[in-house]
Amino acid sequence: MKKSLVALAILAVAGVASAQSSVTLFGVVDATLNFGSGSGVGSSDKTQLGNSGNNSSRIGFSGREDLGKGMSASFHLEAGINNDDGSGSTPAGLNNQGLTATGGGLTFGRRSTVSLASAMGELRLGRDVVPQFYNHIIFNPWGPNGVGNSLTFTSSIGGNGLTGIRASNSFGYFLPGNLGGFYGQGMYFLGENVKDGLPLQANDDNSGKGAAIRFGYANGPINVAFGTSRTMYAKTGTDTTGDITSRNLGGSYNFGVARVMGELSDDKVVRRFTTLTGRGGQIGVSAPMGAGEIRAGYSTYKTDAAGTPRSNKYALGYVHNLSKRTALYTTVARLNNNGGASAALNGAVTAANQSSTGYDFGLRHNF
């Protein structure tokens, strides 16, 4: 629930003033008891009170000012919270490269933007979600949250944690909303390296620079979208980093009794000497049931690394809404590995080619 705190205060205190001006305080506090288990040599299990199993815990401040003539300015500052221990969720890739927030302090790492909007669309500056990431979560029953989420992004080789999800120093553009169901956005972001004319080196001039787009069509029960992103990274002699290209195509159809969705994705990392590719897919369904919703999904991801490691995940969940803002939820997921893969769920460790099982039980409250 978002609330327009200030519109009223201004109206009433000042007597006049623009009702269009508002500051919104919003957030989510979501606590999850989660279990994860693995098997095989060296495996371990884990029980945790985690967070964000249904929706990402956060606190934020946003506002919008009407500038007249169809224009507006707005800001959005949003901090992730690890509410199991009170720390802030410190983002990796603050500079779209190796700079990481540390120490557990709150940052507006989920989003910190200032925007200008008109009938022509919106220009948005700062740190924000990379467009192509949306397809991973909009066409998955769990979005980015909990043990049920999709391997197409949790296993992705596509720079997850640097610019796979969010980018700093970004210039975003959003098409206006009145295009007959067509929507779209683009983003360009800077690595902010020194430009010194020197030849290839660890800190390449373009490292951390990138761009992404997403286009789609939503009309009535149907929603389909394509997204792609590319980020350049220094191609060092150690062959560990390189340019990352990610593409995905997702769609959903709402039958009323249930919403069916799916996504295909591929990622490519072009290093100095070698190239690594990954491919994934997911299908899912969410069905309202009384005050709740049932969710089921399957996702898979494989790469062409030695052995062609691959993981598959099945997940089943239920969300029980106590109100529009508050819900109880549970999810169970099982992940199978082969080709040498050893992905595991909820903090467990599993041996290569072994499976892992995870459970979530949680309480989510929006404010």
Which 147-186 residues touch a copy of itself, going by CB under 8 A?
168-171
- Contact call for residue 118 and a copy of itself (CB under 8 A): no
Q: Which of 86, 45, 78 is CA-nearest to residue 61?
A: 78
Residue of the chain from 63, 148, 184, 280 that contacts a copy of itself (CB under 8 A): 63
CA distance 162 to 54: 23
Residue 67 engages a copy of itself in binding (rule: CB under 8 A)? yes
Contacts 24+ apart (CB under 8 A), 196-204: 200/234, 200/235, 201/234, 202/234, 202/236, 203/234, 204/232, 204/233, 204/234, 204/235
Q: Which residue has the tokens 């397809």?
A: 135
Report in angstroms how near the CB of residue 61 gets to a copy of itself at its nearest: 7
Q: Does 43 bind a copy of itself (CB under 8 A)?
A: yes
Residue 304 as a binder of a copy of itself (CB under 8 A): the answer is no
Confirm or reject binding of residue 110 to a copy of itself (CB under 8 A): yes
Q: Nearer to a copy of itself by C-beta: 39 or 254?
A: 39
Q: What residues does 64 pair with on adjacent strands? A: 22, 74
| Piece of the chain touching a copy of itself by CB under 8 A; list 70-78, 134-142, 174-182, 250-258 | 70-78
Among residues 215, 217, 241, the alpha carbon closest in space to that of 228 is found at 215
Quick check: 105 binds a copy of itself (CB under 8 A)?
yes
Residue 282 half-sphere exposure toward CB, CA atoms < 13 A: 37
Q: Which stretch binds a copy of itself (CB under 8 A): 75-83, 244-252, 264-272, 303-311?
A: 75-83
One of 54, 55, 59, 317 touching a copy of itself (CB under 8 A) = 59
Q: Position of tokens 């009384």?
A: 290
Q: Residue 345 interacts with a copy of itself (CB under 8 A)?
A: no
Task: Supply the minimum distance, in Å, between the C-beta of residue 26 and a copy of itself.
Answer: 9
The backbone torsions φ and ψ at residue 69, rounded to the nearest 5 degrees and listed phi first, read 55, 30
Amino acid identity of residue 222, one-letter, is I
| Closest of 250, 274, 245 to residue 262, by C-alpha | 250
Choices 93-101, 173-181, 218-226, 245-253 (CB under 8 A): range interacting with a copy of itself: 93-101
| Shortest CB 315 distance to a copy of itself, Å | 22
